[in-house]
Structure 1
Amino acid sequence: MKPFGKKTLAMLLLSCMMLVAAGCGSNGSPTQEDTASAAPETSSKQEEPVKVVWWHSMSGDVGKAAQQLVDEFNAEHKDIVVQAEYQGKYDESLNKLKASLGSDSGPSLIQVYEIGSRFMIDSKAITPVQQFIDADKYDTSRLEPNILNYYTFDNKLYSMPFNTSNPILYYNKDAFKAAGLDPEKPPATYEEVAEAAKKLTKSGQAGGSFAIYGWFMEQLFANQGAELLDNGNGRTQAATSSLLGSDAGVKTLDWWKRMVEEKSMLNLGRKTDDTSKAFAAGQIAMTLDSTASLRSIVKSAEGKFEVGTGFLPKADANVKGGVIVGGASNWILNNRPEAEQKAAWEFIKFLAEPKSQAEWHINTGYFPITQKAYDEPIVKENMTKYPQFQTAVDQLHQTTPSLATQGAVMGVFPEARQLTETAIEEVLNNKKSSKQALDDAAKAITSKIEEYNKTVSK
């Protein structure tokens, strides 16, 4: 190769200097071409999806059903990614939230059981979903009114219901036939249950068993139109005392104890798992359990006997009452960025859609919170397969709205429920009378309410 001449070398050096000058200004700022080439990277960063961390308390098959909904939402929303994180049972999850308050270690969204509602509001750590409802002009009339009723405080919806249930009576239709009882007519009152239990009791089979569960006592109060707390069940203003020792409580516990004493009703302790297993084994002919357990209870009896379902028994057939919704709702935390809260709201709306609620219902047994979900073909097919579920739907729709059926609210509800269960145990184990046990529990609950109220800023 021939060496460059002086003229050629000078031209090359001039060209290089021009290229450098074109690439950099006097202040070192990027050129238009550089900016254009960097634009895709900047745009990519801006378009990263908003992350929503959802704490929940659903495990097993129910947890899988929840994750399925999360996956469907994420597939449909490229600008949002929901990360579902199981935090243990409701009590555990709420305790973890309490520990996270005041830091950034908590979730964007959390599922909290219904009895945690008062604490969540008083915590001042949440953004009421009513704000998003109003901003979006979201139509809540599509949702079940008796479900919304529970989660509405001062005409405001603070959280969005998600998994909802109520208690029903399960009974063994084959055992009813054998005892000369009408298998299509479940007992509807306390007295009818007691009479049926006597007839159903025989060698190897008791008339029934109810788990010692505070939720059942709360429901049996509401079914008498009786309030569990003062100040309109804690709805008209903050509750200050428990009414557990009222006539409604004594009447209920006396009835329960009498059946245990007559040996027509077994005392199997606090776990509904134990009563449902005894029911499936044919050891008891009647039990109380959540509507969310319907599929598993019916399946466990397949090939052995037909399961019937009835409304929660009433103390008096002439008294208007009904059931309180159980389950949980989703709450948006207010210490998260606005974009994150809005993304959480989008996920909440998705969970409430008829299609989502239809899937959730057939995969778990929880009620659809959206009325139009019942029009979905998969729900109609499921109702044909499990006609017993119609009982639960009818019971919800026939519940008379009142402060009693709206449900009691207090910041110490988990503790109150435990104290109620201890009182029931004391009575069934012949340690105290119904009146004494319930009065003692009411006094202890009232004391806890007073302590809690002192901690809540007015």
Structure 2
Amino acid sequence: MPRLWSVLRVRRSLTLAGWAVLIAALVGCGAKPTGTSGDASSTGSGGAGAPASEAPTTGAADKKPIEIVWWHAMSGPLGEAVNALVDEFNKTHSDIQVKAVFQGNYDEELTKLKAALGTKNAPHLVQVYEIGSRFMLDSGAVEPMQTWIDRDHFDTSDFEENILGYYTFDGKLYSMPFNTSNPILYYNKNLFREAGLDPDKPPRTFEEVAAAAKKLTKDGRYGASFAIYGWFMEQFFANQGALLVNNGNGRDGLATESLLNDEAGVKTLTWWKGMIDDGSMLNLGRKTSDTQQAFAAGKVAMTLDSTAALRGILNAVGDKFEVGTGFLPRPADAKDGGVIIGGASLWMLKDKPEEEKKAAWEFIKFVVSPTMQALWHVKTGYFPVTKAAYDEAIVQENMQKYPQFKTAVDQLHATKLSRATQGAVIGVFPEARQITERAMEEALSGKKPIQAALDQAAKEITEKIQQYNRSIGK
């Protein structure tokens, strides 16, 4: 099968500096801005390259290229990276032209999609965050990726199993992973040294984090600060091997009940609140941007954030101190578990002409090829979805420059795929996350006892799940 595009035939020897020049040229010369707002993430054939278009045949110049509309939620530098991918595809595929359209953040984009389904305004491809998966499945509007994988004999054996696992339902891959991340612990190595802690041995358990936080708290500094973010709560469940909803996290059948008030939830908030109560944890509320700023300023020694935030955090810290990274902590007695992937995937809508869906599939193969995933990873900090991308020179050089990212890769590979780590799928996930965050606030502030706050939240989430199930006739 032909390689991606001729200019990248020597990609393995291309340096990071060389890629930077190429990226700048792509963004500056061909990519048109599609929107401006905050980061929406804040939050292969043979596993190889996608085929380049064949040289036009006689008369091909007179044929109008197929236009594919792709809705996405990436803005700022992420949007520029999206535009660079699209621009390069368009330059190397004369018979297909992709139009990337920024539609706001993930929530805004999904709202617009719901209004467009069944109309001529619907796109061919749409980027949907992971918690929108249940809605997409139930919409009846999607063409499973498995259809094209099987038809094209497309080899996914080189893809990351834990990334594919999230978007696989009933043995079929329904959407193509695109931008993926997981949460890690960030810590200030300088403050660890001052406190007599090993800067190369980050705490791995709830108990170790609590003990370290106490030692790190002094002179107006706090040991830690974690944003009150529902995604973190979901991750702490998975890291204990616990289900967030019943029926195998909604994967063995439609979920009908929230398990937020089970032992995993109580244990997590008891640990978290204990640090707030003893003064070693600074509670800054729901915004991860607030904890990022406090960490970069040296006000807190440990925080949690997405792997996709790594580059931004390192840039904000600069040379003020050395940043360390560690696995997401879990209770010392937790036997199984791991992290759930976050981010988003690409969904194909089925109500389009076959020729246009085939063209959309060509674009999908292009963006998940190792070369393009290497470029995407270096520009954004998201995981490559294929293992072969780590062999690319640009990724290896980037890993040397940012060794902290290896923690995220190791954590992904250490995670065993299970119903817990595949993540929950419910049709009301955005609402459930908001309810969870309210319960976290009530418990951590002492407004309600932990069990009572989680019981009420679980009851409300269960009611919303059941209402949703009735709305789709199930």
Q: Is the pair's TM-score, using the shorter chain for normalization, greater than 0.5?
A: yes
Within 1, Cα distance between the matches of 2:106 and 2:90? 25
- Match of residue 274 from structure 1: 290
1:363 to 360, 366, 379: 379
1:53 and 1:107 in contact (8 A); partners too: yes
**1:157 is aligned to 2:173:** yes
By how many angstroms is 1:340 displaced?
1.2
Within 1, Cα distance between the matches of 2:455 and 2:75? 37
- Match of residue 261 from structure 1: 277
Q: Secondary structure at the match of 1:265?
A: coil
Within 2, Cα distance between the matches of 1:121 and 1:432? 36
Q: Secondary structure at the match of 1:349?
A: helix
**1:423 is aligned to 2:439:** yes
- Match of residue 195 from structure 2: 179
AA in 1 matched with 2:394: I
Deviations 1:373-422 (A, max 9, x none): 00000000000000000000000000011100010000000000000000
1:116 to 128, 132, 135: 132
Deviations 1:341-374 (A, max 9, x none): 1111111110110000000000000000011000
Within 2, Cα distance between the matches of 1:125 and 1:313? 39
1:188 and 1:317 in contact (8 A); partners too: no
Q: Which deviates more from structure 2 when the two are superposed, residues 291-300 or residues 304-313?
A: 291-300
1:318/1:249 Cα in 2 relative to 1: closer, same or farther (>3 Å)? closer
**1:310 is aligned to 2:302:** no
2:94 to 69, 78, 87: 78
1:290/1:143 Cα in 2 relative to 1: closer, same or farther (>3 Å)? same
What is the number of residues matched between the two proteins? 417
Aligned runs of 1:202-351 on 2, under 5 Å? 202-316=218-332, 318-351=334-367
- Match of residue 56 from structure 1: 72
Deviations 1:5-59 (A, max 9, x none): xxxxxxxxxxxxxxxxxxxxxxxxxxxxxxxxxxxxx956962111011000000
Q: Secondary structure at the match of 2:157?
A: helix
- Match of residue 182 from structure 2: 166
AA in 1 matched with 2:121: S
AA in 2 matched with 1:300: A
Q: Secondary structure at the match of 1:441?
A: helix
Stretches of 4+ aligned residues off by more than 4 angstroms: 42-46
Deviations 1:289-335 (A, max 9, x none): 00001111112112100000000001125512100000000000112
1:145 to 161, 167, 171: 161
TM-score (norm 1): 0.90
CA RMSD, aligned part only?
1.2
Instruction: List alignment gaps of at least 5 residues for structure 2.
Output: 1-57
Within 2, Cα distance between the matches of 1:247 and 1:297? 33
2:241 and 2:334 in contact (8 A); partners too: no
**1:442 is aligned to 2:458:** yes
AA in 1 matched with 2:113: L
**1:409 is aligned to 2:425:** yes
Q: Which deviates more from structure 2 when the two are superposed, residues 122-131 or residues 296-305?
A: 296-305
- Match of residue 470 from structure 2: 454
Within 1, Cα distance between the matches of 2:331 and 2:224? 17
Q: Secondary structure at the match of 1:238?
A: coil
Within 1, Cα distance between the matches of 2:256 and 2:194? 50
Within 1, Cα distance between the matches of 2:460 and 2:372? 42
1:375 to 391, 394, 401: 391
Instruction: List alignment gaps of at least 5 residues for structure 1.
Output: 1-41
TM-score (norm 2): 0.87
Within 2, Cα distance between the matches of 1:313 and 1:82? 42
Within 2, Cα distance between the matches of 1:303 and 1:407? 37
Within 1, Cα distance between the matches of 2:62 and 2:465? 48
Within 1, Cα distance between the matches of 2:442 and 2:372? 44
Q: Secondary structure at the match of 2:465?
A: helix
AA in 1 matched with 2:68: V
AA in 2 matched with 1:372: A
Within 1, Cα distance between the matches of 2:453 and 2:205? 24
1:90 and 1:113 in contact (8 A); partners too: yes
1:389 to 396, 401, 405: 405
- Match of residue 29 from structure 2: none
Within 1, Cα distance between the matches of 2:284 and 2:317? 19
Within 2, Cα distance between the matches of 1:455 and 1:417? 20
Within 2, Cα distance between the matches of 1:437 and 1:318? 23
Within 2, Cα distance between the matches of 1:414 and 1:307? 32
Within 2, Cα distance between the matches of 1:308 and 1:264? 19
By how many angstroms is 1:430 displaced?
1.3
Within 2, Cα distance between the matches of 1:99 and 1:46? 35
Within 1, Cα distance between the matches of 2:354 and 2:438? 44
**1:197 is aligned to 2:197:** no
By how many angstroms is 1:336 displaced?
1.6
By how many angstroms is 1:457 displaced?
3.7
**Overall identity of the aligned pairs, in %:** 65
